[in-house]
Structures are given as structure tokens and as C-alpha cells.
Amino acid sequence: MRFGLMINSDEPAERDPLTRLDEHLERARTARGAGFHTLAAAHRNSFGPARPDDRGEPLVTSRFQPLLLLAYLAAEMRDTMHYATTILLSTSAHPAQLAEDVATLDAFCHCRLRLGLGLGWMPFEFEAFGVPKRERVGRFEELLEVYRRLLDEESVTFEGRHFRVRDARLIARSVQRPRPPLWVGASSDRTVRRAARFGDAWIISGHITLDVLERQLALYRAELDRLGKPFPAEFPIVRMVHVAADRETALKEAEPVLADWYRKRGDWGWFLTQGPAKAVTDEMLRTGRWIMGDPNDCVEQIANLRDRLGVDHLIFGMPWPRSEQEKRLRTIRLLGERVIPHLK
């Protein structure tokens, strides 16, 4: 298996961006030393409510925009790390601009880039760019088609509802030919089939349970078969992680973060049932949404993902608040010392 680290996370708006950038680079260097394969960047547009929410919680700012963050890391690291977006939201993207940006970034990353693309769903992400949310599916599918063709073909003409190009020729070709691998994010049955149609791989979201994923994997395979496409050479998944030297410490430290994670995503509509998680239970861990516990627990949970789904590229996210850089670094080191070596 290959292992990646999602470098960025939600941050309160008042945080100094230069401090955040230094922390991102420290995590990246620690991950390199721990034997990670990939540095990944997530995406949230920096638009949203102008005031704290009803609970009085502070505004959360955007992560650094992922293409620029990966360019910075690639320039600073200058090594053999691989890079990925997990995922880049397509809300405001134009396929021609995206193709040029990705081709440029592929060179900066020395041909070691993977592009993860997703639809987006939060209303303010569409309102800020003047894009009606009802048009998101059509825009996304047209964007995927035109983006791929611009990098795959010498000249492209396309007349769609949302995008039009005529005799378009991309001068800045990507170093990887025809282009960096395209990972398409998907959560529902319909979007899983879309990932099979448009993507080089389906990147599995961090919030879907194992039972649901096993069923959706059958749909994905069936759609690939219908299209006459082989199963991807790489099968990535995102999972949140926390590891400590012993299980009791790991679960105790994770409980407040996990409760906040479930509450926010329940409010956002990610889960059919809402309500805070007040304690980490074995049943919660069996859903497979988190990798959590002591190193042996984590090895067992990752092996279960691998064996049940066939995933071979695991991207870890660490949703710790701003004051928890040391917990992040400790988790990275423990994963490198006592988890990853058992699964490579």
C-alpha cells in the first residue's frame, strides 16, 4: 500500500497565514521522514457566512488553495514525494484554465501529480461564484470531458450548455502523458458511476461507511465493465486518523474532535442521523470512517479496508484544531514507525 498525508485542515479565520504555512511545511517534512508516499491538499472556497454561526463558533477560513499549496511544497521539498488534490472543488473552474494550471503544476511536481476533482455541494460555494447549484452536475460533467480532451488531444472543439471551446490547443502540455491521473470524487450511487465514466480512478470519500462502500464498489466495477474499462491501477481512499502509543490515550484525545466532526457534518447533511458522538465506541470504529487507536489497532483497521475494498492508496486526514500541531506530528511519526512498515 501507499500512504499519503492531507497537509491542510480547517483553521479559524484569525490565524496568521504565515504560521499556518510553516506548520504545513513542518508536517510535510515530517511525513517525508516517516516514509509517506504522497502529500495531499484539500479544498474549501474562502467564502461563507459573514458572522460566526448560531453557537458563536468562530469563522473558519479556507485552507490554502490546493494547486498553489502543492506548488509551494514541491518547490520546498525538492525530492521524490508525490502530490495530489483531495479534492479540488470544481465550482468556479473553467476546463481550459484548469488544464493549463494542472499541466504547469505537473512540471513543478516532476511528473508526480494526481488530480482529484469533486463536485462541491455547500450552497455558499456556488452563490459566491454566481453558479446556480442546480447546474452543478451538468457543469461538472462538461468540465471533466473538456479538461480530459484538452490534455489528451491535439485540438478540441466542444459545444456544451456551460462550456464552449473551438479549435482549442493546449500549448503547455503536461509532462505525464497524456495527463496526470484523474481521481474523481463520488459518494452516491450515481456519482460512483460518473467516476467510472470520467475518471482514471474513483477516490473514496472519508465519510462513507464500509458496508455502503462494499455495495458501491460492485456498482463501480459493473459500470467499468459496461464501459469496457479496466479496473484502475490505483484505488485511493481518504480516512481520518488518530494514533497514540496506547488505545485509551488515542480514544480519549480523539473524543472531543470526533464529536465536533460528527456534529458539523451532521448539520451539513452528510449523515442521515445527527447528534454528537460523546464517546468513541467499537461500533463507531467498525463503520470504517476513522482509523483510530494504538498502532496495532490502526494496522488492523487499515488491513480491513484493504482486504474488503481492495484500496491501495490511503490518504490520512488529521482534523485537529489549531493548537494541536504536536499531536499531528506525533501521529505522523507513529504512523511511520509502527503502522506503515507493516502494510507496505
Q: Whole-model pTM?
A: 0.91
The yes-or-no verdict on residue 279 having pLDDT over 80 is no
Determine the pLDDT at residue 275.
44
Detail the DSSP E strand segments found in 145-200.
156-159, 164-168, 182-186
254 part of a folded domain: no
CA angle 223, 165, 117 (to 5 degrees): 40
Do the domain assignments include residue 271? no
Please give the helix or strand (H or E) that residue 8 lies within, else none: none
Whether 151 is in a domain gets the answer yes
Identify whether 188 is part of a domain: yes
In this structure, is residue 48 part of a structural domain? yes
Tell whether 265 is covered by a domain. Answer: no
Q: How far apart are CA 85 and CA 114, in angstroms?
A: 7
Is 321 within the bounds of a domain? yes
Helix (H, G, I), strand (E, B) or coil at 104: helix
Residue 332: is its pLDDT beyond 80? yes
Residue 56's domain is classified under what CATH number? 3.20.20.30
Residues spanned by the domain of 187: 2-241+293-342
pLDDT of 122 higher than 80: no
Residue type, 155: S
Number of domains in the chain: 1
User: Residue type at 320?
Assistant: W
* Alpha-carbon distance values, 153 to 102, 157, 174, 183 (Å): 15, 10, 12, 19
pLDDT tens-digit map of 287-328: 788 899 999 999 999 999 999 999 999 999 987 665 588 989
Assigned domain for 268 exists: no
Q: Check pLDDT > 80 for residue 60.
A: no
Helices 95-108 and 66-77 cross at an angle (nearest 10°) of: 10
Helices and strands: H and E segment counts in the chain? 11, 14
Count other Cβ atoms within 10 Å, centred on residue 124. Answer: 12
CB count within 10 Å of CB 139 equals 24
To the nearest whole percent, how much of the chain has pLDDT over 90? Answer: 66
| 266 has pLDDT over 80 | no
